[in-house]
Structure 1
Amino acid sequence: MNIGMSRVFSLADGWAESRHSVPAEHPAAGVTPVHEHPDATWADDGPTRGVEAEVEDGAVLSFPQLAFRFSDKERAFLDEHWADPKAKNISVRWPAGELRGAAGDPARHAELRALIVRYAEYSESLALRLFPHYRGRLRRGNSSFRPIDVAGRETSWRKDDTRLHVDAFPSNPMQGTRLLRVFSNVNPNGQPRHWRIGEPFAAHARRYLASYTRPLPGSAWLMHRLGLTKRRRTEYDHVMLQLHDHAKADIEFQRKSPQAEAFFAPGTTWVVYSDQVPHAAMGGQFMMEQTFYLDVEDLQRPETSPLRTLERLLHRPLK
């Protein structure tokens, strides 16, 4: 395993100091790999390209020298007061390009939006260089700036992102569509982004599929009809939500499952399929994030996707 962040070490080195104050009891065996790459440019002439197999197999791709830089004027946005306290992030929603979640001086919101849009454009250039097979297929999702410190945020257990989980959304069914994410630590004070990274997806799914319960007939139609979901929830979405919730509610899993801590230093960018890699954000402030969507059929190897993995494990299509 090529471990390539500022620092990655076993759970025993530190999660006991996290907000949950749970003692660590499991070594970092069978953990999702992290692959480091030397890129220092977002442009098309960077050295790394054609690494679809790495990310589709479930690796986290880390670029410790690939910084997203703020201009002197933009550095004024490195202040949590620009975020609406009711919003988790400041985001630009596509395709309309609407800015949401911003507070502070409205006269500067256009500059804040331009900063986030620039990150979206850089991230797209990077993704298309890293994954040329995705050209013409990758779709831009929300772009966000996260100025709030992860540590200490009060929330419900289901929304608590300091607990290991794979991404799944109750109101926004993905229907198998992949969630590719590009993150950059832009902290000006030397603070790393602190993650935990868990076991490979197939092992994670096997852990909870024995307790899986199928959706009630007609429930997906009714939730969509009532406006509770943006589109019809497939059985795939139902499974993924149960994996998400079971993992977050399972304190023994959070304590004892294979996992490693990761510290992404300021100036680091990392790329991951967040629907495939169990992850938890334990600490850090000031981060950029870009989401991309990709249909399973447009992967270089569709059989590696969570959808196809779950279908193999359950011996049936999830529609």
Structure 2
Amino acid sequence: AYRPAHVETRVTSWRKDDTRLHVDSFPSNPTGGLRLLRVFTNINPNGLPRTWRVGEPFKDYAARFIPSTKAMWPGQAWAMDALGLTKSKRSPYDHLMGQLHDLGKHDLDYQKNAPQLTLDIPPGATWVVFSDQVLHAVMSGQFMLEQTFYLKPEHLKDPAKGPLRILEQLTGRSLLTQ
């Protein structure tokens, strides 16, 4: 995807505000536990960097917000799929990831005070991120290319380090069954 817009002047709701630290979770496109590997390239022709913030480890973030999450009600995933609100049936994992996305973005104290560092990514640079696990926020920039790849966790070297297994460990339950 080509992203020509100025990040700083984009007007949107807090849920879609990518200047807030978050992990990626796509509400209408459940992943069923697939990893989100995203490749970004800054193609700014004016020599300007793209500025990102990167947050704390995923496990710490999840442990902070899981107590505020709620389980899906019976039939919710089926109803959302049947009504066309989602492209496929949402798993408990997708539901939990969506809540973690929203809870972090909504908490302005967290946004201000959470552990984080700032990165200036120069034009011509490409960076690769597991955006479902790395807390990130884009603070400035214009002209970017982005591509998302969906990877099966079991094809990775250590699936236990991914968000699905971390969340299952923290919640004490399987998150891919209804």
| TM-score by shorter chain over 0.5 | yes
Matched positions, count: 176
Q: CA deviation at 1:149?
A: 1.0
How far apart in 1 are the matches of 2:124 and 2:26?
29
Out of 159, 162, 175, the residue aligned to residue 305 of structure 1 is: 162
Matched, 1:292 2:149: yes
Counterpart position of 2:44: 187
* Aligned-pair CA distance for 1:169: 1.1
Higher-RCO chain (CA-CA 8 Å, sequence separation at least 6): 2
* Partner-residue secondary structure (3-state), 2:25: coil
Report the Cα offset of residue 152 of structure 1: 1.3
Distance 2:54 2:120 in 1: 11
Q: Distance in 2 between matches of 1:204 and 1:215?
A: 21
SS in 2 for 1:222: helix
List 4+ stretches of structure 1 deviating above 4 A. none
Aligned-partner SS, 2:51: strand
Q: Which residue of 2 aligns with 1:21?
A: none
Report the counterpart of residue 94 of structure 2 in structure 1: 237
Identity of aligned residues (%): 59
2:135 counterpart (239, 257, 278):
278
Separation in structure 2 between the aligned mates of residue 187 and residue 172 of structure 1, nearest angstrom: 29
Task: Find out whether 1:261 has 2:118 as its counterpart.
Answer: yes
Which residue of 2 is the match for residue 176 of structure 1? 33
The whole-number CA distance in structure 2 between the counterparts of 1:215 and 1:187 is 42
Alignment of 1:1-319 (within 5 A): 144-319=1-176
Offset at residue 210 of structure 1 (A): 1.1
> CA offset at residue 223 of structure 1?
0.5
Q: TM-score, normalised by structure 1?
A: 0.55
Whole-angstrom distance in 1 between the partners of 2:86 and 2:53: 30
> Which secondary structure state, in structure 1, belongs to the residue aligned with residue 16 of structure 2?
coil
**Structure 2: which 5+ residue stretches go unaligned?**
none
CA RMSD after TM alignment = 0.7
Return the index of the structure with the highest Cα Rg. Answer: 1
- Alpha-carbon shift at residue 297 of structure 1 (Å): 1.1
The DSSP-based 3-state class of the residue aligned with 1:158 is helix
AA at the equivalent of 2:144: M
> 1:195: how far off?
0.6
